């Protein structure tokens, strides 16, 4: 390393270490920290840029998608030349280009019930940037079990939120035990790139706040944002009780031969179900399901429809349920 490189390294964090709240001790805490980031899309891009820029020592990045042209308006880690590449590899290359001090592990895989606990075990803090109900609940369950903080966010259209869960505070399920959202996705409703960038940046700030041990802790708080009205809101949920029972996500391979499987996807979306003998219903017709004699497994693409259908079945007193997100 020549003198110019040494000067770059020594000055890289000068503007944040000069803060009395950080200093050399805080910078050392960041360098020793390990963060798991699930999702390298619109939320993940600013999260990664600011965590890597701040000098977090190790980042494990999990995402199974490739770069598409529709990503580029809100995912500035990628260029036209990255289209078709795995996001984790393109993101790693870009991030290491501006901070080679940070160790970045790129894992091109989908988060599943099978690998969630092992991935969470590698990190001091987890960032949920996948914007998927299934991922959020899986990460929350795993983080709550081992008391690790989870920073989660979501943006649809022009509204979004970011919050800090688990880590000794209430889980995501304590705040949202039943999700009945009519909702769409970024594909159907749309999303403004600047709104996603703002919430992703807020996620990065919440993560750094926790890693640096600032007081008062952000655990147990949610910040909301309406990008059309330019209005921030939010609420505290510290002290919220955990639900007595919850419906778990399971891997497709964990579906048993005696399970009653309901595939909630339409025939136009999925002409053939991967589960032999699956019933084909939708959320609005789930009441047609007869009283089951065994476990009911609800399957859809992201987990959102499965959660909505589970709410309706639980209202009928049917509680032997499991959910599958098919991606």
Please identify every residue annotated as catalytic: 186
Q: Which residues of 179-198 are buried (b: 16+ CB within 10 A; e: fewer)?
A: beeeeeebeeeebbbebbbb
Distance CA 282, CA 190 (A): 23
Instruction: Order the strands of the 149-156 sheet from edge to edge.
Output: 103-107, 58-62, 34-38, 125-128, 149-156, 159-166, 221-226, 231-236
Phi, psi of 260 (to 5 degrees): -95, 105
Omega before 216 within 30 of 0, i.e. cis: yes
Distance CA 137, CA 112 (A): 11
Distance CA 86, CA 99 (A): 20
Structure tokens at 321: 């349920």
Rounded to the nearest 5 degrees, what angle is found at the Cα of 238, between the Cα atoms of 155 and 306?
45
Distance CA 317, CA 327 (A): 28
Distance CA 81, CA 90 (A): 10
Evaluate whether 230 touches 248 at the Cβ level (below 8 Å).
no
Structure tokens at 110: 């989908």
Q: In angstroms, what is the C-alpha Rg of the chain?
A: 21
CA dihedral angle for residue 120, residue 126, residue 130, residue 132, rounded to 10 degrees: 70
Neighbours of 113 (CB within 10 A): 21
Give which of 61, 51, 67 is closest to 99, Cα–Cα.
Answer: 51
DSSP 274: S
């Amino acid at each position: 390393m020549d003198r110019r490189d040494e000067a770059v390294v020594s000055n890289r964090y000068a503007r944040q270490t000069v803060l009395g709240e950080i200093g050399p001790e805080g910078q050392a805490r960041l360098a020793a920290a390990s963060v798991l980031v699930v999702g390298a899309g619109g939320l993940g891009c600013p999260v990664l840029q600011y965590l890597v820029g701040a000098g977090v020592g190790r980042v494990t990045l999990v995402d199974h998608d490739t770069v598409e042209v529709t990503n580029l308006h809100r995912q500035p880690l990628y260029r036209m030349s990255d289209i078709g590449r795995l996001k984790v590899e393109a993101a790693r290359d870009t991030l290491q280009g501006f901070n080679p001090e940070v160790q970045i592990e790129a894992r091109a895989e989908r988060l599943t019930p099978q690998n969630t606990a092992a991935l969470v075990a590698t990190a001091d803090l987890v960032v949920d940037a996948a914007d998927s109900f299934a991922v959020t609940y899986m990460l929350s369950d795993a983080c709550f079990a081992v008391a690790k903080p989870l920073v989660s966010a979501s943006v649809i259209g022009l509204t979004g939120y970011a919050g800090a869960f688990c880590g000794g505070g209430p889980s995501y399920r304590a705040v949202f035990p039943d999700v009945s959202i009519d909702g769409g996705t970024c594909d159907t409703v749309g999303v403004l790139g600047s709104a996603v960038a703002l919430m992703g940046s807020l996620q990065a700030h919440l993560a750094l706040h926790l890693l640096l041990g600032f007081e008062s802790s952000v655990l147990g708080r949610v910040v909301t944002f309406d990008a059309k009205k330019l209005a921030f809101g939010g609420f505290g949920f510290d002290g919220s009780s955990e639900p007595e029972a919850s419906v778990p996500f399971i891997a497709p391979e964990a579906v048993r031969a005696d399970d009653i499987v309901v595939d909630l996807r339409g025939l136009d979306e999925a002409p053939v179900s991967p589960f032999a003998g699956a019933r084909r219903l939708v959320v609005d017709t789930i009441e047609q399901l007869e009283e089951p004699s065994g476990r009911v497994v609800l399957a859809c693409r992201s987990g959102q429809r499965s959660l909505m259908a589970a709410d309706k079945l639980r209202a009928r007193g049917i509680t032997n349920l499991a959910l599958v997100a098919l991606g």
